[in-house]
Amino acid sequence: MKRILILGAGTAGTIMANRLVHKIDRRNWQITIVDEHQTHYYQPGFLFMPFGIYEPEDVVREKSAFISPKVEFIQAAIDTIKPEAGQVVLQNGQTLDYQILIIATGVKIAPKQVAGLTEAGWRENSFDFYTFEGAKALSEKLENWPGGKLAIHIAEMPIKCPVAPLEFAFLADAYFTKKKMREKVEINYITPASGAFTKPRSSAVLGGLMSEKRINIVPDFYTERVDGSAGKVFSYSGQEVDYDLLVTIPTNMGDEVIARSGLGDELNFVPTQKHTLQAKSNENIFVIGDATDLPSSKAGAVAHFQSDILTVNILNHIEGKPLDEGFDGHANCFIESGFGKAFLIDFNYDTEPVEGRFPFPVIGPMALLKQTRLNHWGKLAFRHIYWNVLLRGLPMPGIPTRMSKLGKKLSK
């Protein structure tokens, strides 16, 4: 029997397994998914844990609960991909043959890539919130932190969920305000970008809100090193920012198996065809989600849109048909802005976030690039959609794969 082998049972891999199992001829094809971890995390929920909005149990489930029983799930660590042989070697010595490979190995923080970060002060006065352990430790720290200089620090781009650091800044402002200690906290937002966000129009809106909230943006900051003993972050240009508490988004990198297999770039992301999601190195290898080197956002919504196109392209590849070049980089995400409000942005490779209505052009009901309470409730509701709809590969009515321009105030 032929095999479609999926590496990684995170968001992207799980969606693809659940979609494909209903599309392929299972008399001739076996779908196998491999992941070393037992636990599935709702990673957008990590943002809320430090502020007591979500508890740890809100973001944790068993991976096996979301993978179709018609899919073979192997819980094992991956050692090497051997494209020339059509094989994947596991660390337990087992070899899996494949005819089609889908790489969904995701992205991880790599704090050791930032000089000094994991030395003095790590998980004492410097924390991440991109891991379950980091978010939990930061929650405990914030509970009794007396105030001082808070630095929210992006080491380099690209990062998973590029709006999450902004959300952390806004939620921190609200958190300390509600604790009646905002005057005791100086918030600095350190970024290699030239503004609050990478897209100009949304950067202007979000940057204006940061100014209103007295969050100081430190732009064009290219991190050289962190000195935890001194409580300082240094840039290559000689700039330095003091902190009493550092909340850092370290370098993000693809999985080490990509490096061991010689399939990635310098950050272990797999070079991928921009519109078809086929790997540039091999025609029977496809890449989805955070594992790609694409200029689209590394976010669950993007993986969902990619899965629509990739499902078609796996079937096209099997049947010898031309691949669908339909992935347009579509992304949409909520941006928590504090005090029960949030923004919503919708964009793709060519169109930046603008104002308008979503998902329907006249009635919305969501407002784009504006703070509303409905957007906030949409953000909170997405956790339930994630567990019950998105992961299971079910359709999301009203939200198209390709970005619609209807209802958006586009520049002429």
Q: CB atoms < 10 A from the CB of 267, how many?
A: 17
How many Å apart are CA 268 and CA 257, to the nearest integer?
Answer: 8
How many Å apart are CA 181 and CA 270, to the nearest integer?
Answer: 45
User: For residue 63, which phi and psi values (nearest 5 degrees)?
Assistant: -55, -40
Comparing CA positions, the residue from 199, 177, 173, 201 lying closest to residue 187 is: 173
User: How many residues appear in the chain?
Assistant: 412
Given the structure tokens 């000089």, which residue do they identify? Answer: 115
Comparing CA positions, the residue from 333, 337, 339 lying closest to residue 368 is: 333
Longest Cα–Cα distance in the chain: 66
Reply yes or no on whether the pLDDT at 219 is more than 90. Answer: yes
CA torsion, points 336, 10, 160, 339, in degrees to nearest 10?
A: 10
**What is residue 412's predicted lDDT score, i.e. its pLDDT?**
53
Q: What is the mean pLDDT of residues 131-153?
A: 98
Reply yes or no on whether the pLDDT at 61 is more than 80. Answer: yes
Identify each DSSP E strand in 203-318 by its residue range: 215-218, 223-227, 232-235, 240-242, 245-249, 252-254, 285-287
- Rg from Cα positions in the chain: 21
pTM above 0.85, yes or no: yes
Reply yes or no on whether the pLDDT at 397 is more than 90. Answer: no
pLDDT tier, 292 (very low <50, low <70, confident <90, very high otherwise): very high
For each of the domains in the chain, give its residue range(s) and CATH number, in order of start: 2-106+255-319 (3.50.50.60), 111-251 (3.50.50.60), 331-390 (no CATH)
pLDDT tier, 202 (very low <50, low <70, confident <90, very high otherwise): confident
% of the chain surpassing 90 pLDDT = 94
User: For residue 336, which phi and psi values (nearest 5 degrees)?
Assistant: -60, 130
pLDDT 10s digits, 28-49: 999 999 999 999 999 999 999 9
Reply yes or no on whether the pLDDT at 198 is more than 80. Answer: no
Comparing CA positions, the residue from 85, 87, 83, 88 lying closest to residue 35 is: 88
pLDDT tier, 396 (very low <50, low <70, confident <90, very high otherwise): confident
Q: What is the DSSP letter of 159?
A: -
**What is residue 172's predicted lDDT score, i.e. its pLDDT?**
98
With 0-12 / 13-18 / 19 or more C-beta atoms within 10 angstroms meaning exposed / middle / buried, residue 313 is buried
Reply yes or no on whether the pLDDT at 304 is more than 70. Answer: yes
pLDDT 10s digits, 144-169: 999 999 999 999 999 999 999 999 99
Reply yes or no on whether the pLDDT at 199 is more than 80. Answer: no
Reply yes or no on whether the pLDDT at 279 is more than 80. Answer: yes
**What is residue 98's predicted lDDT score, i.e. its pLDDT?**
98
How many Å apart are CA 8 and CA 104, to the nearest integer?
Answer: 5
pLDDT 10s digits, 220-244: 999 999 999 999 999 999 999 999 9
How many Å apart are CA 115 and CA 105, to the nearest integer?
Answer: 25
pLDDT tier, 327 (very low <50, low <70, confident <90, very high otherwise): very high
**What is residue 37's predicted lDDT score, i.e. its pLDDT?**
97
Comparing CA positions, the residue from 235, 4, 294, 244 lying closest to residue 114 is: 235
Mean pLDDT of the residues in the chain: 96
Secondary structure tally for the chain: helices H, strands E: 7, 24
% of the chain surpassing 70 pLDDT = 100
Q: Tokens representing 203?
A: 């950067």
**What is residue 67's predicted lDDT score, i.e. its pLDDT?**
97
How many Å apart are CA 75 and CA 70, to the nearest integer?
Answer: 16
